[in-house]
């Protein structure tokens, strides 16, 4: 599972980087809003992540996602939940 979490982190950072102009590496503790993504861009990012892992990040859980690491943590939790169920 640790390997998978790592893999998820790399991929999600990649999806963030694709949406932020002029950035080489995305730090895990970077606040998503501070990266210059407006609310619509954040929603698009979340949808792309959802499709990548075939999960659903419910709208009401967006409030707990401030940093890139938060997003990674929520998605890893959803993937694990899916595996468990």
Partner 1 sequence: MSLLSHLSPLRDAYHRLTQAGGDPFDVNFDAILSPTEGVLNGSRMLLLGTNNYLGLTFDPACVASAAQALQMQGTGTTGSRIANGTYGGHRALEEQLARFYGRRSAMVFTTGYQANLGMLSSLVGPGDHIVIDADSHASIYDGVKLSRATVTRFRHNDPKDLSCRLGRLPAGGNTLIVVEGVYSMLGDSAPLAEIAAIKREFGAYLLVDEAHSMGVLGKNGRGLAEAAGVEAEVDFIVGTFSKSLGAIGGFCVSDQQDFELLRLVSRPYMFTASLPPSIIASVSAALDRLQQEPALRRRLSDNARRLHTALVAAGFVISPKPSPIISIQLASPELAIAFWNRLIDAGIYINLALPPATPRGIALLRSSVSAAHSEEQLDRVVDAMVAIAGELGVITPRRRAVSG
Q: Is the dihedral of CA 24, 28, 30, 33 positive or negative?
A: positive
Alpha-carbon span 35 to 40, nearest angstrom:
13
With contact defined as beta carbons under 8 Å apart, do 78 and 53 qualify?
A: yes
Residues in contact with partner 1, shown as a per-residue x/- string from 26 to 65 under the rule CB under 8 A: ------------xxxx-xx--x--xx--xxx-xxx-----
Give the nearest distance from C-beta 55 to partner 1 in angstroms: 7
Give the nearest distance from C-beta 78 to partner 1 in angstroms: 10
What 8-state DSSP symbol labels residue 33?
A: G
Q: At what angle do helices 68-84 and 39-53 cross, to 10 degrees?
A: 30
Residue whose CB is less far from partner 1, 17 or 79: 79
Residue whose CB is less far from partner 1, 3 or 39: 39
The site for partner 1 (CB under 8 A) is made up of 38-41, 43-44, 47, 50-51, 54-56, 58-60, 85
């Amino acid at each position: 599972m640790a390997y998978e979490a790592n893999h998820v982190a790399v991929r999600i950072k990649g999806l963030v980087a694709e949406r932020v102009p002029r950035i080489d590496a995305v730090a895990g503790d970077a606040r998503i809003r501070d990266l210059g993504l407006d609310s619509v861009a954040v929603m698009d990012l979340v949808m792309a992540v959802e499709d990548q892992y075939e999960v659903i990040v419910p709208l009401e859980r967006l409030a707990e996602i401030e940093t890139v690491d938060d997003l990674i943590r929520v998605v890893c939790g959803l993937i694990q939940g899916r595996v468990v169920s």
